[in-house]
């Protein structure tokens, strides 16, 4: 199909269904012109990045939007599905209403969706953005990858159980802007709570596995890593500036550290594709600061220039000099294109040492965003540092490079390593 033919086909689809969907006839039910349609598709593509659809629906070795990413659930392994425009394996046959039901309400033609698909957050996506997403998804390249059978050994139909979950745990909140805040702040709130679905990882869950809205963004453990507290209060206490946070979100690195693991996937597929205005909006909302949407200087700062005072009598000093300083610098100042600064690093500065132990234990695989932006891999020290050495090293890191002055115990390290070993 030629692109223009494809576009007009999507146009027709949107029209035939959007009229039925709208409660009352709205101006958006007017036939979009081809030019408007192309614009709508471009907006949809951007919004799909803001929603990180490909982060979950595309795997490294697979076709774009072909699905197949595994999610561990208490009932077994679940796989994301093919959401390309392919009519057999994907969602190419979905009407607008079916698309809306799946993305916003978690109800697909095959039944209720497992909440690994973040529809509780996507419920806040507005109508215009839903239409743009639909227009975009109906013309993506068809992926011929068949869906994987789920490895869920539930004694009865899991999708019926999910219907109950939807009734009791899904609060169906729509987006409500705050009247006393700036448009930029509210744009940030819309993105964080809706498409960005930040709370799916950063908000703790109750016994029903529903996110606890009273504790929004206060931090939670996901996939054996701590998604830290990113409330304005905590970010301010841990000295994140507007500039550092905007830079971390836009590039995945800053003088407060780099994004890794699940956060790296969010960065790579989603946040690094957002424009400066939206990055400023998210930053403004997270820090609860009203800043004008000025251009944020986003060239990655690879190192923090300030050298630190270090206590050479601490037992972790020798380990640091031997094993870490070659990449992270003798005073934790980092080395451009090699490794980030550890001085003022947010992971080390967190009073919860979970992620520091996880990183030292498991290392970080080589991560790259583009040809200009990449780091070495961070080695794993699971086998070369015992619990005592790791505890001493963390004490040294915190006392030298952060404002945490506590001493890490062997028991703390052992407990966290036990949790990591269960992964």
- Measure the CA–CA gap between 284 and 290, rounded to whole angstroms: 6
Which stretch of DSSP H or E encloses residue 227?
A: strand 225-227
Is residue 239 left, alpha or beta, with left meaning phi > 0 and alpha meaning psi from -120 to 50? left
Question: Does 234 carry a binding-site annotation?
Answer: no
Q: How far is the CB of 22 from ligand HEC (least distance, A)?
A: 20
**The dihedral sign for the CA sequence 329, 334, 339, 345:** positive
Was 201 annotated as part of a binding site?
A: yes
CB of 27 to ligand HEC, least distance (A): 25
Between residues 176 and 239, which has the closer beta carbon with respect to ligand HEC? 239
295 in Cβ contact with 77 (< 8 Å): no
Q: Which is nearer to ligand HEC, 86 or 261 (CB)?
A: 261
Decide whether 7 or 137 has the Cβ nearer to ligand HEC: 137
11 is in an annotated binding site: no
Residue closer to ligand HEC, measured from CB, 31 or 93: 93
Distance between first and last Cα of the chain: 46
Closer CB to ligand HEC, 31 or 372, in the complex: 372
Q: CB–CB of 79/68 below 8 Å?
A: yes
Strand-pair partners of 205: 211
| Smallest gap from residue 340 Cβ to ligand HEC (A) | 5
Distance CA 44, CA 65 (A): 14
Q: How far is the CB of 25 from ligand HEC (least distance, A)?
A: 26
Q: Is 89 within any annotated ligand binding site?
A: no
| 38 in Cβ contact with 7 (< 8 Å) | yes
Q: In whole angstroms, how far apart are CA 297 and each of 49, 235, 254, 372?
A: 22, 20, 12, 17
Nearest to 13 by CA among 108, 85, 103: 85
328 is in an annotated binding site: yes
Strand partners, 374: 368
Which residue number is nearest to ligand HEC in terms of Cβ? 257
Nearer to ligand HEC, 37 or 122 (CB): 122
Q: Which residues are annotated as a binding site for heme c?
A: 53, 56-57, 198, 201-202, 324, 327-328
Q: Which residues are annotated as a binding site?
A: 53, 56-57, 198, 201-202, 324, 327-328
């Amino acid at each position: 199909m030629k692109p223009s033919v494809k576009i007009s086909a999507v146009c027709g689809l949107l029209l035939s269904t959007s009229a039925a969907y709208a409660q009352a006839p709205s101006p958006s039910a007017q036939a979009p012109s081809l030019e408007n349609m192309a614009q709508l598709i471009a907006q949809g593509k951007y919004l799909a990045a803001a929603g990180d659809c490909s982060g979950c629906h595309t795997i490294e070795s697979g076709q774009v939007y072909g699905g197949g990413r595994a999610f561990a659930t208490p009932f077994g392994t679940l796989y994301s599905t093919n959401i390309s425009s392919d009519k057999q394996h994907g969602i190419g046959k979905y009407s607008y209403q079916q698309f809306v039901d799946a993305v916003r309400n978690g109800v697909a033609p095959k039944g209720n969706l497992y909440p690994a698909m973040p529809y509780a957050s996507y419920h806040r996506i507005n109508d215009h953005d839903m239409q743009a997403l639909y227009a975009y998804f109906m013309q993506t390249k068809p992926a011929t990858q068949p869906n994987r059978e789920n490895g869920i050994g539930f004694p009865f139909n899991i999708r019926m159980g999910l219907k109950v979950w939807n009734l009791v745990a899904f609060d169906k909140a729509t987006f409500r802007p705050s009247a006393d805040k700036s448009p930029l702040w509210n744009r940030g709130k819309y993105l964080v709570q809706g498409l960005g679905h930040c709370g799916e990882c950063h908000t703790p869950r109750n016994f029903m596995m529903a996110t606890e809205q009273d504790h929004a963004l206060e931090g939670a453990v996901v996939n054996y890593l701590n998604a830290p507290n990113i409330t304005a209060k905590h970010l301010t206490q841990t000295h994140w500036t507007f500039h550092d946070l905007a830079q971390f979100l836009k590039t995945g690195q800053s003088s407060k550290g780099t994004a890794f693991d699940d956060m790296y996937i969010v960065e790579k597929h989603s946040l690094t594709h957002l424009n400066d205005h939206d990055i400023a909006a998210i930053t403004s909302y997270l820090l609860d600061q009203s800043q004008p949407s000025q251009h944020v200087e986003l060239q990655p700062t690879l190192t923090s220039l300030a050298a630190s005072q270090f206590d050479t009598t601490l037992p972790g000093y020798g380990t640091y000099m031997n094993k870490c300083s070659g990449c992270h610098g003798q005073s934790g100042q980092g080395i451009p294109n090699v490794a980030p600064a550890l001085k003022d690093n947010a992971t080390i500065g967190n009073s919860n040492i979970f992620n520091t132990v996880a990183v030292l234990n498991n290392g970080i695989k080589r991560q790259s965003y583009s040809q200009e932006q990449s780091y070495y891999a961070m080695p794993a020290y699971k086998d070369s540092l015992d619990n005592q050495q790791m505890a001493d090293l963390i004490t040294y890191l915190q006392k030298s490079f952060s404002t945490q002055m506590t001493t890490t115990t062997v028991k703390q390290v052992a407990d966290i390593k036990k949790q990591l070993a269960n992964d």
